[in-house]
Structure 1
Amino acid sequence: MNRRGTAGGSPLRIYAVGLLDATGLGMYLSFAAVYLNQALDLSNSHVALILGTAGVGSLLGAIPVARFADRCGLRRALVILFAARALSYVGLSMAAGLWTAMAAAAFGGLLNRGIGPLVQTALIDGLRHEDAVAPLARLRALRNAGMALGALPTGVAVAVGDELAYRAIMGASATVFVLCAVLSWSLPRAASSGARRLGKPGLVGNGPFLRVTALYSALILSAILLGTGMALWITQQTDLPHWMVSTNYVLNTVLVVVFQARLARGSESPLTARRMMVAGGLLAAGGAAVASLTGRGDGWPPVALMLLAVVLMTGAEIYVMAGATSLALVHTPQEHRSTYLATFNLGFGVATVVGPSLISISLDHDAAGWLAWAVFLALAAVASLTLPLAPPGADGPRRKAEGAPRRTTEGDRA
């Protein structure tokens, strides 16, 4: 078996696609609200309607996009989908009002959450579960860097404050997706192997996979708590300086990019992966408990406590992502990875939809809100101890569960 996957030994091109995809998406996510308000002169309610429609569309489109790739092949699907996404952003850059912006954003939204899992599948296509963990961790680190890079040009456009500058950012995002389509077209035809995958994925009957996905959805709420919750808490409920909001974001991004791949090591063992989910939940609970102490006092002590909370919750984010991804792959059929990874990634999608509202309501109750989240995350961590380590009837689950050492190959170090 080709340990580098069926993409024909071209992981660097797939990493490049993943980085560019995240960069273009980062441009949109960091800028969409400002663009719609300033360039199109839409009200806040109309902006919320457009972004909400796009968000719901991204949840609805993820599985159909994955099934499309299963039928026509990863390479062809990526080219078509990136080209379609580029068109949607061209439409958004040329939108004249509410309805044209709504149509473009909704079309792009249908594709936004489904493409990422296809890039993941292309990277690990043909690899065994234990060989797929490290490449996925590197891809996640690159995507986090890409999201941060994508946010940089938006500051320039805001500083210029001209409608043409605003529209240029959306046009630049479309150009990035055109580059993704070109790079995807350059992948070897081996990456089209998915075209043979016509059987039913059997998601509904895969209880272990669904349990991993459900607990991942619960635990990854800590990432939303870190992003949205910390910002609301700092600006509304504490005397902390408001520059802590951007400081927290930068610290979280740097830690994830630097340590994502390193801390994911060992998660190819299902037992270690499960322990990572438990540890991630406990770290998140600890971070929430520490954050509850920052609402009173002034000076450096609450600042130091907030930074500690960010470090703890960033570690939680890394461990939860690495452990849950690995366990999900254990229960994923090779021939349906696109569909299963799309379903797994919906866990984060659901968290981004329901999380902000729950967090906003809970943090209105001062420190008690943080402590409630600490209890919730600790319970989710304990529940992770019950996750199965191998599919029922799998051969050799004991060796894999115990994390037996295996030889390192050139493919693992690539």
Structure 2
Amino acid sequence: MLSRVLPPPGPARMLTFITMVMSLGQGLWMAINAIYAVTIVRLTPGQLGISLGIAAVLVLVSSIPLGHLADRAGPRTVQLWSFLSLAPLTVALVFVQGFWSYLLVTSVQGLAYRAGNNARKAMIAANVPRADRPHVMAYIRAALNVTMAIGACLAGLVLVWGERIGYQGAVVFTAFCFLATGLLTLKEAPVAPVPATAGTAFAVLRDKPFLAFTVLDGMLVTHALLLDLVLPLWVIHHTDAPRWMSAAILLVNTAFVVAFQTRAARGTGDPRSASWASLQGAGCVAAACLIFATTSGTGLLASCALLVVGALLHALGEIRQAAGSWTIVFDLAPNHAQGQYQGMYKMGGDIGKMFAPAVLTWLIIGHGVIGWIVLAVSYAVLGAAMPAVVARGTRSRSTAEEAPAAA
């Protein structure tokens, strides 16, 4: 297992190992966060939804400035202090009481995590050679899935125990993982801050090809919600499959990503080939949607078999589309502004996932097979547009790089 999630010794191995430490705590916390807020902090479900929504909006509007901060202060510095600050912020959740204190802590926590995440991508851009980035990102994604799954298993033990001390111990363990992530950052190669120059502040907002790519990719990555949100409801209301098939599908997805993510990253070393990989990934997801549509009213065994086949196609599309996106976002971003471009890219995914739950639920659960067909066509069209958008971005980046040389 470790051979699949750890690259050969070097900077890439440290990057992957730090990701594993961070995601172990993240996987644990994601699995118990909502239950902790309701049972220990005593929030109502409505208060929890409001606090999470406000925190998400704050993170969304701050994403580009936090990425710009990584460029100006140096990504290693921002990553270091972001994760070091996450440790006491997470421990503070043991002492919060009521809505306002929970809202304050989780909002600042979200800002610190986004700052560290943006800086982390800028660190990868600076310390990993361009040709190696897709391969390294594949290892990181595989490692992320492994340790997130382990964290979720630990959360299951906490939930089964159900005692207050267990929940608080999980919070402290999560804080320790963030602290370790910050301290391990000191072992990474430093990256010099980019000096402030005229015209570079928030330049991403004027980069129309990159903004178009961000919108397309942000809509494409909503396919992740199919397994987490839509399929469980679909299985219950529209198929003869048992409820536990939802968990089996997630297990299939995780195992497939760990086993094949590094292979899926092959042949995505330049923006053109990466854009075609995104198209292929979108096509696989579209095909998976059509297969999911056939599971309605097909009987127990047929439904289970079709759900697994659809899940495998979805997983293949997910890892292929992700591999293409990594190269595109790194290569279309200028070296002096990797932080703010990464922040913009994360905003696209955030906005897509903000609206996707309501839209996907309305489309699939409300309209059944027709909804799946509409969704399949939508993903196919988005994927088909990717090569043209990326080609335009590549030309724009080349023109921008040639202008200073000509001057």
Whether TM exceeds 0.5 here: the answer is yes
Q: Counterparts in 2 of 1:123-138, with a 5 A limit?
A: 123-138=124-139
Which residue matches 1:383?
Answer: 385
- Higher relative helix content: 2
Instruction: Tell me if structure 2 keeps the 8 A contact 1:197–1:336.
Output: no
Distance 1:114 1:308 in 2: 38
Amino acid of the structure 2 residue aligned with 1:367: V
TM-superposed CA distance for 1:195, in Å, is 4.8
Which residue matches 2:319?
Answer: 318
Amino acid of the structure 2 residue aligned with 1:374: A
Which residue matches 2:404?
Answer: none
1:130-162 superposed Cα distances (whole Å, 9 cap, x missing partner): 332221222122222222222121111111111
Q: Counterparts in 2 of 1:387-406, with a 5 A limit?
A: 387-389=389-391, 390-392=394-396, 394=398
Q: Find the residue that maps to 1:297 and give its secondary structure.
A: coil
Change in 2 beyond 3 A, CA 1:362/1:118: same
Change in 2 beyond 3 A, CA 1:196/1:147: farther
Which residue matches 1:285?
Answer: 286
TM-superposed CA distance for 1:251, in Å, is 0.8
Change in 2 beyond 3 A, CA 1:391/1:331: farther
1:308-349 superposed Cα distances (whole Å, 9 cap, x missing partner): 111111111111111122122221101111211221122222
1:365 to 367, 387, 395: 367
Instruction: Tell me if structure 2 keeps the 8 A contact 1:28–1:173.
Output: yes
Measured on the aligned residues, the alpha-carbon RMSD in Å equals 2.1
Change in 2 beyond 3 A, CA 1:113/1:357: farther
Change in 2 beyond 3 A, CA 1:217/1:269: same
> Structure 2-normalised TM-score?
0.89
Q: Counterparts in 2 of 1:70-149, with a 5 A limit?
A: 70-149=71-150
Which region of structure 1 is more displaced relative to structure 2, 214-223 or 21-30?
Answer: 21-30
TM-superposed CA distance for 1:291, in Å, is 0.4
Q: Identity rate of aligned residues, in percent?
A: 24
Distance 1:130 1:186 in 2: 23
Which residue matches 1:215?
Answer: 216
Distance 1:372 1:152 in 2: 36
Matched residue count: 387
TM-superposed CA distance for 1:64, in Å, is 2.3
Distance 2:154 2:281 in 1: 33
Amino acid of the structure 1 residue aligned with 2:396: P
TM-superposed CA distance for 1:127, in Å, is 4.4
Q: Which runs of 5+ in 1 are unaligned?
A: 1-7, 398-414
Change in 2 beyond 3 A, CA 1:357/1:113: farther
Instruction: Tell me if structure 2 keeps the 8 A contact 1:59–1:110.
Output: no
Q: Which runs of 5+ in 2 are unaligned?
A: 1-8, 402-407
Amino acid of the structure 2 residue aligned with 1:194: P
Instruction: Tell me if structure 2 keeps the 8 A contact 1:260–1:318.
Output: yes
> Structure 1-normalised TM-score?
0.88
Q: Is 2:193 the counterpart of 1:194?
A: yes
Q: Find the residue that maps to 1:192 and give its secondary structure.
A: coil
Amino acid of the structure 1 residue aligned with 2:245: M
